[in-house]
Amino acid sequence: MTDSTPSPDETDGRTGTQSAPADAPPVHRIETTVDWPPGHAACYLVDADEPVLVDAGAPEDRGAEELREGLDAHGFEPADIAHVLVTHPHTDHDGQVSNLIDAGDPTVYAPAAAVERLERDPDDLHEVVTENARVVGVPEGLREYVVSQAVESLKRNARYCPPEAVDVRLAAGDAFEAGGVTFESIHCPGHQADQFAFAATLGPEADGTDTDGATGDAGERVLFSADAVIEPFRAAALHAGLDDGTFDSVSASYRCYGSLRSYSFDRVYPGHGPVFTDYAGAIERSIESLDDLLDDVESTLAEVGPAPAFEVANTRADIAEEPYVLFETIGACAELVERGRATDRMDDGVRVFSD
Ligand SMILES: [Zn+2]
């Protein structure tokens, strides 16, 4: 199907006369296993007139099986899903898009910029990442490995969420209807450059542990926050990896939380960790975590500088074990310069930072 907008006479009768908030559809949480903390990725089934799935779980057979079981627990099967909303092109969120298309041909929605990223020519990506790897100071012996990781990741995501299968390319701020529910896209860069969170008015979580009933059945303002706002931790600022924008990971994260501060939500359905209600608190904690990151990178820079971002990162952690530290450190070095807390210069094609 290509058009998601239901006409007013297409309701199935369940909702009766229009008192929309009181009949706001409930949400079911489905977890699929991932091999890194916190061990799961959550997607959400909105039990609307036409079932909507926000994100599509982890990839491969294990993810497929767990998604099938999760849907089955609520009386659905993959072929029933009419709409799939993809928050961002990471495999633990788009892992089953392709399988859902095979099962039931849902309408697929994704951020337009994410789709363009998936359409990217791998050779072009290879070239940009090779150059950026040099600029951030990845040693020559490691460079080809790092570059191939980036290219493989692009190819993997394009397989799980084929760009040509995305029916609706969303722009930031778009309001759109899926399954009779109006969603609003909110651009949340930093963790991933193109990431969207989706806001909506929905009923209370049907089966979660966190049904405090604060707003009863009257409908709540909820946010499907993807990896932007999570409790009790902050998802890493990976942003663009070593692609264009590699130095923006931390500034984009601050920008994201700054703009999210202007919203308020009754309940948050995150991509990882528990469903929670203290939206404002989670944002402030995330900003504090970024502040801590800057402090840590600043003191490392005082220790090892002048140094390229790779060396600073490698001092902070074993990058082979925790590759995200590289992307956060690159962004933090640039942000420290932006704030006047560090300086930088180009030295033979490498960006070198000093405290
Ligand atoms: Zn992610």
Residue 320's pLDDT is 86
Residue 204's pLDDT is 64
Q: What's the gap in Å between 54 CA and the centre of ligand 1? A: 14
Average pLDDT, the chain: 90
pLDDT tens-digit series, residues 207-217: 544 444 444 45
CA distances, 223 to each of 127, 197, 247, 277, 300 (Å): 37, 7, 28, 10, 36
Q: What's the gap in Å between 159 CA and the centre of ligand 1? A: 17
pLDDT tens-digit series, residues 236-264: 999 999 999 999 999 999 999 999 999 99
Structure tokens at 149: 């990781």
| DSSP at 10 | G
- E-strand spans in 138-245? 168-170, 175-178, 181-187, 196-202, 220-226
pLDDT tens-digit series, residues 26-64: 999 999 999 988 999 999 999 998 999 999 999 999 999
Q: What's the gap in Å between 348 CA and the centre of ligand 1? A: 34
Separation CA 52–CA 43 (nearest Å): 10
pLDDT tens-digit series, residues 134-189: 999 999 999 999 999 999 999 999 999 999 999 999 999 999 999 999 999 999 99
Structure tokens at 333: 């070095």
Q: What's the gap in Å between 93 CA and the centre of ligand 1? A: 7
Amino acid at 73: A
Q: What's the gap in Å between 239 CA and the centre of ligand 1? A: 9
pLDDT tens-digit series, residues 69-110: 999 999 999 999 999 999 999 999 999 999 999 999 999 999
Residue 212's pLDDT is 44
**Domain boundaries of the chain, sorted by first residue:** 116-284
CA distances, 95 to each of 3, 134, 148, 254 (Å): 23, 31, 20, 28
Separation CA 56–CA 94 (nearest Å): 5
Q: What's the gap in Å between 351 CA and the centre of ligand 1? A: 27
Q: Which fold has domain 116-284?
A: Metallo-beta-lactamase; Chain A (3.60.15)
CB-count burial class (<10 Å; 0-12, 13-18, 19+) for 9: exposed
Note the Cα 154 to chain centre separation in Å. 15
* Percent of the chain scoring above 90 in pLDDT: 86
Q: In which residue are the tokens 């952690």 written?
A: 317
Residue 15's pLDDT is 35
Q: What's the gap in Å between 344 CA and the centre of ligand 1? A: 30
Q: What's the gap in Å between 270 CA and the centre of ligand 1? A: 11
Q: What's the gap in Å between 43 CA and the centre of ligand 1? A: 12
130 C-beta neighbours (distance < 10 Å), count:
17
